[in-house]
Structure 1
């Protein structure tokens, strides 16, 4: 398998860090000139391949200075946004999956909701303090005297994920897609200099519900493109808008569902984490032949790696902290095509159409589109 991120190539981890550098007048991985204000618009789930397939519905995005970048690993929102926010890989910041094992308690915790205060429900335990281990680019920007607003749906202002992963940003609530870029640009102009993070989750939600090739997803893409068009027309000298995404999408038909229980693969599983297209399998003691058995049972549908192999192959970045390593599965099972893996036939996630998490080009590569004022 090719490296997750090509050596020397800009990737998602460079986008916010490079933007801060540009506002500070420093050289950066993105090649941006000195800027007064940069807005980074993250369109959740907008893959490079999906955008290329819908260019007629996204004429502004298609006409911008556009290049393909890699998201890093894994291609899931919690990990990717943490990588964007911190400028380091999951092996350092510690958010390694959609749902990851907390080794100290032997509990699998959802990484999007786990930063919220724990609930009484067994499926909603909280994450321990310090789980996200890296300083953020927002903190760096504020320390340098820059503004660092974050703009998105209002209810994200009080989320634990915003508090821990987007630490240092000042949240500005904006209900609609059309409201968010003006809010971000306005906040930066009021402050003078800075970098804004602007988030659009709606396309990802539509893809999970109906697929990225659905009319709903395409209609939302048109709205994003219209919002970008209006923002570009309003850009002033010294301002830059960057549009990117955390991951792409694969539509998974029911015929591509693989039920692990039917294959007899759950006997040695202590905890199952990750997500359907990238499983983190935590094994019971003594399951020494598990990698071979899983690889034989899944065949061409999956790449199966031990934790050591996945780390050596750079799945979680160039560095993995010893504290973070036990959060990674004993086995990693990544879909090669459009398959998704479920523990049992009644798994609730089988209702999702659009999915992500693995290393296929459709999931792994996203656009980085630049517009300068």
Structure 2
């Protein structure tokens, strides 16, 4: 099956290229970023380039610094577990292994939430996600590395998978986190500082991208980033993915009565990008054909092999990552969402992501401070 994939001709134009560019900047500069005495990577979770431009009047600091071409591509799936790990390792999900939101652990034959269930299932983050993080790479070069986030994330399984090598510091509000990030970068030359701002993503999930709550969250983030940046500090603002609003009439329930569970052992992933794992005795061609027929107009349906061959998970997919990818993938089109009728979680979400629309795929690449052009 042919898929219309987003254009991302090389890693320098995707979030996979961000970490190498930042490392190069503190080592003398790169083709995309000038030299800086220290660098800060600000990730505004869920802030797509298209929604940002549509609400430019509420984000004057970011919008004024964002030229027309200041965007890059996300990773697939466009979900935090996969895309944020790509940002912080510089490798695609097919290499780092976090190939979705909820994926099957082949050894335990259970679905594991890649953000929250590491400890529940006794999964070692250093084994499951073995790619060196940007913080480990920074420390190996003799430079300090910091991660600034909210207190609840300190020591979590996902943090141990993605923030290894960083000195974790916490602060509660966006303004406090940004201020702390600026201070750390100013105090130690050669430092790489990561600053994580999840408020926009949270507001989008609960209320939608066009809601007053989402706009308020964007305004708070923009105000935080308007504070003066110390001399010589380069700041790069980007996101892991964007978001689309899913109205109730675009939600499709996959129930047993409709035959959706025939031959299916687990339905993982998330509503805009399903990983469908089949029973050992299921006919994969029959299931693929049926899903493709019945989801026409709602989703692109591809096999694991088709997805890998199309480069969706990057090039050089590891054996471990391959085993975690569903036998069948359902990638929602437009503003649709696909729900397993046996799993009630998440049906009240308005803003969603995971698929390949431009709203989800294109994210900002905004240069501030010493990086500003």
- Bigger CA drift: 274-283 or 255-264? 255-264
- Which residue in the other structure is 2:198 paired with? 201
- Which residue in the other structure is 2:334 paired with? 337
The one-character-per-residue Cα deviations of 1:232-291 (angstroms, maximum 9, x if unpaired) are x3331x211111111101111111110111532111111111001000000112323111
- Give the conservation status (yes or no) of the 8 Å contact 1:277–1:355: yes
- Which residue in the other structure is 2:269 paired with? 274
The one-character-per-residue Cα deviations of 1:129-162 (angstroms, maximum 9, x if unpaired) are 5001211110010111111110111221121211
Q: Aligned ranges for residues 248-259 of structure 1 at < 5 Å?
A: 248-259=242-253
- Which residue in the other structure is 1:263 paired with? 258
2:248 equivalent to 1:245:
no
- Bigger CA drift: 40-49 or 3-12? 3-12
Q: Give 2:20's match in structure 1, choosing from 1, 17, 21.
A: 17
Q: Give 2:109's match in structure 1, choosing from 102, 106, 113.
A: 106
CA distance in 2: counterparts of 1:210 and 1:345, whole angstroms: 24
SS at 2:112 equivalent: strand
TM-score (structure 2 length as normaliser): 0.93
Q: Give 1:361's match in structure 2, choosing from 355, 358, 361.
A: 358
- Give the conservation status (yes or no) of the 8 Å contact 1:43–1:199: yes
CA distance in 2: counterparts of 1:98 and 1:60, whole angstroms: 32
TM-score (structure 1 length as normaliser): 0.93
SS at 2:115 equivalent: coil
CA distance in 1: counterparts of 2:320 and 2:45, whole angstroms: 29
2:369 equivalent to 1:372:
yes
- Give the conservation status (yes or no) of the 8 Å contact 2:264–2:276: yes
2:70 equivalent to 1:70:
no
Deviation at 1:58, TM superposition (A): 0.6
Q: Give 2:305's match in structure 1, choosing from 305, 308, 318.
A: 308
Identify unmatched segments of 5+ residues in structure 2.
none
Deviation at 1:345, TM superposition (A): 7.0
CA distance in 2: counterparts of 1:156 and 1:5, whole angstroms: 33
SS at 1:349 equivalent: coil
SS at 2:168 equivalent: strand
CA distance in 2: counterparts of 1:297 and 1:2, whole angstroms: 20
Over 3 Å counting, the alpha-carbon distance change for 1:313 and 1:346 in structure 2 is closer
Identify unmatched segments of 5+ residues in structure 1.
119-124
Deviation at 1:27, TM superposition (A): 3.0
Deviation at 1:128, TM superposition (A): 4.0
Deviation at 1:5, TM superposition (A): 5.1
SS at 1:362 equivalent: helix
The one-character-per-residue Cα deviations of 1:15-54 (angstroms, maximum 9, x if unpaired) are 12210111012535xx111111111110011011110110
Over 3 Å counting, the alpha-carbon distance change for 1:158 and 1:345 in structure 2 is closer
Deviation at 1:343, TM superposition (A): 1.2
- Which residue in the other structure is 1:286 paired with? 282
- Which residue in the other structure is 2:4 paired with? 2
SS at 2:296 equivalent: helix
Deviation at 1:165, TM superposition (A): 1.4
Q: Give 1:162's match in structure 2, choosing from 159, 167, 170.
A: 159
CA distance in 2: counterparts of 1:27 and 1:343, whole angstroms: 46
Deviation at 1:347, TM superposition (A): 1.6
Aligned pair count reads: 361
